[in-house]
């Protein structure tokens, strides 16, 4: 039996019952694949179901405002995904009448659609022999073919996509691709892989060294960042500003500004703002005049590439004029999914509003 057939037979018998596996709708599959990037399946399921209930078609999503999209995405993280999905779907509506194009080049030209997402839509929705390589697939193929060059280098990436393309050729390419992902997620795991349960163990060249494959790419240590955040209350409401940074662009947050860390050298402190001055600067940058109060608390928030130490201030007696990038909200509105805020903002508000 070929590796390909063994994977398909195993998948038919062992696949998890996930909601997006009950549809061939390319739009619904597109949404699932974007949400699943760097996010656990268990986390994605309720978000995907709510998102499709609210925006069941490309036309519905294209007609939504960015606030509505980010509000429903709030808490899922990696918000750039949501903004690119929104842009991509709007292009589908404008250029293709709301139908996700079957042509691969047309899909690759959409904002936010790379080789992986294009391949997932093409193979699963359109039954086209298009490969995919994500973290799970890379791990399976690195072990099966004993690829001992590091992930991320051109030689490794080319080999992985070539092997994935070879497997995609043939009947049921969508099921084959999902079998590779499922095997990596449930059997060929990063640690303690269950090789005895693997349907392709007899053909796996790396089964004796599985735990050291794939060879990881070098990662930079997370950057340490110190931030002053200000919770500005006014008559039971809280002032939020729309962020424009790459990190939280498009989301609403309390005013924030980096400051010199407490453990910095005298030179570093001179070059960076002290925490209180950073808090005042955060208010000034968004156009709020307020009385800065005491520190309400501190928290640590870890992202992929940075470790944020956040000092939370309270401020009162606010004077500000609401506009498209500055608004006051009742904290209860944040629980209704209408306003896009990050987990960090929710954590800050939990300290500053209590």
Active site residues: 33
Say how far apart CA 311 and CA 353 lie, in whole Å.
Answer: 14
Crossing angle for the helix pair 80-96 and 66-73, nearest 10 degrees?
Answer: 130
Tell me the Ramachandran region of residue 218: left when phi exceeds 0, alpha when psi lies from -120 to 50, beta otherwise: beta
For residue 295, the cross-strand partners are: 313
Rg of the chain on CA atoms, in Å: 24
Before 25, cis peptide (omega within 30)? no
Give 23's strand partners.
none
State the DSSP code for 212: G
- The residue among 254, 342, 302, 344 whose CA lies nearest residue 76 is 342
Q: Answer yes or no: are the C-beta atoms of 92 and 100 closer than 8 Å.
A: yes
């Amino acid at each position: 039996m070929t590796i390909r057939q063994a994977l398909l037979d195993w998948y038919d018998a062992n696949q998890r019952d996930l909601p997006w596996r009950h549809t061939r709708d390319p739009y619904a599959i597109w949404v699932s694949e974007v949400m699943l990037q760097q996010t656990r399946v268990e986390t994605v399921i309720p978000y995907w179901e709510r998102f499709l209930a609210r925006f069941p078609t490309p036309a519905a999503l294209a007609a939504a405002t960015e606030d509505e999209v980010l509000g429903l995405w709030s808490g899922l993280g990696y918000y750039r995904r949501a903004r690119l999905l929104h842009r991509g779907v709007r292009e589908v509506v404008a250029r293709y009448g709301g139908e996700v194009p079957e042509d691969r080049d047309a899909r690759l030209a959409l904002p936010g659609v790379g080789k992986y997402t294009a391949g997932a839509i093409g193979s699963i929705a359109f039954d086209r022999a298009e490969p995919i390589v994500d973290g799970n697939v890379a791990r399976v193929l690195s072990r099966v073919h004993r690829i001992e060059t590091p992930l991320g280098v051109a030689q490794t990436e080319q080999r992985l996509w070539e092997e994935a393309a070879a497997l995609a050729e043939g009947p049921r390419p969508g099921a084959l691709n999902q079998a590779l992902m499922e095997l990596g997620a449930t059997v060929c795991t990063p640690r303690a892989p269950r090789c005895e349960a693997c349907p392709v163990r007899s053909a796996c060249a790396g089964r004796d060294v599985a735990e050291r494959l794939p060879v990881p790419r070098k990662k930079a240590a997370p950057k340490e960042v110190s931030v002053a955040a200000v919770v500005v209350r006014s008559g039971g409401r809280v002032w939020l500003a729309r962020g424009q940074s790459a990190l939280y662009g498009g989301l609403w947050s309390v005013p924030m500004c980096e400051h010199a860390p407490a453990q910095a050298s005298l030179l570093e402190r001179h070059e960076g703002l002290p925490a209180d001055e950073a808090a005042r600067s955060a208010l000034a940058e968004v156009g709020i005049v307020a009385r800065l109060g005491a520190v309400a608390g501190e928290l640590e928030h870890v992202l992929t590439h940075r470790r944020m130490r956040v000092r939370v201030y309270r401020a009162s007696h606010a004077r500000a004029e609401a506009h498209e990038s500055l608004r006051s909200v009742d904290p209860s509105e944040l629980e209704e999914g209408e306003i896009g805020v990050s987990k960090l903002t929710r954590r800050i508000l939990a300290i500053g509003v209590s």
